[in-house]
Amino acid sequence: MRTLSIFLRSVLLLALLPLSLPGWAAISDAEATNLSGMQRMLSQRIAKSYLMIGTDVRSDVGNEQLDQSMASFEQNHLALIEYAPSGDIRRELDKTGSLWQSYRELALKRPDKTSAVQLLALSDELLAQCEKVVQMIERHTGSSSAWLVNRSGRQRMLSQRIAKLYLARSWHLPIDNLDQQFNQAVSEFGTALSELQSAKQNTREISAALNKADAQWQFSRVGFHLSEDGRYVPTVITITTETLLGQMQALTAAYTIHMQNES
**Cβ contacts of residue 158 below 8 Å, gap of 6+?**
185, 188, 189, 192
- Average pLDDT of the residues in 33-39: 95
- Average pLDDT of the residues in 69-77: 97
The answer on pLDDT for 11 being more than 80 is no
pLDDT of 263: 64
The answer on pLDDT for 157 being more than 50 is yes
pLDDT of 230: 72
- Average pLDDT of the residues in 156-184: 96
56 φ/ψ sector (left φ>0, alpha ψ -120 to 50, else beta): left
Domain spans of the chain, in order of start: 2-262
Q: Can you say whether the dihedral through the CA atoms of 98, 99, 102, 106 is positive or negative?
A: negative
Segment among 24-38, 115-129, 162-176, 197-211 with least mean pLDDT: 24-38
pLDDT band at 223 (very low <50, low <70, confident <90, very high): confident
The answer on pLDDT for 9 being more than 60 is no
**Cβ contacts of residue 36 below 8 Å, gap of 6+?**
76, 80, 130, 133, 134, 137
The answer on pLDDT for 91 being more than 60 is yes
pLDDT of 259: 84
Q: Taking the CA of residue 216 as centre, how many other CA atoms within 13 Å lie in the half-sphere pointing to its CB?
A: 22
The answer on pLDDT for 199 being more than 80 is yes
The answer on pLDDT for 173 being more than 90 is yes
pLDDT of 8: 45
pLDDT of 25: 54
Q: Name the pTM for this structure.
A: 0.89
pLDDT of 2: 41
pLDDT of 32: 95
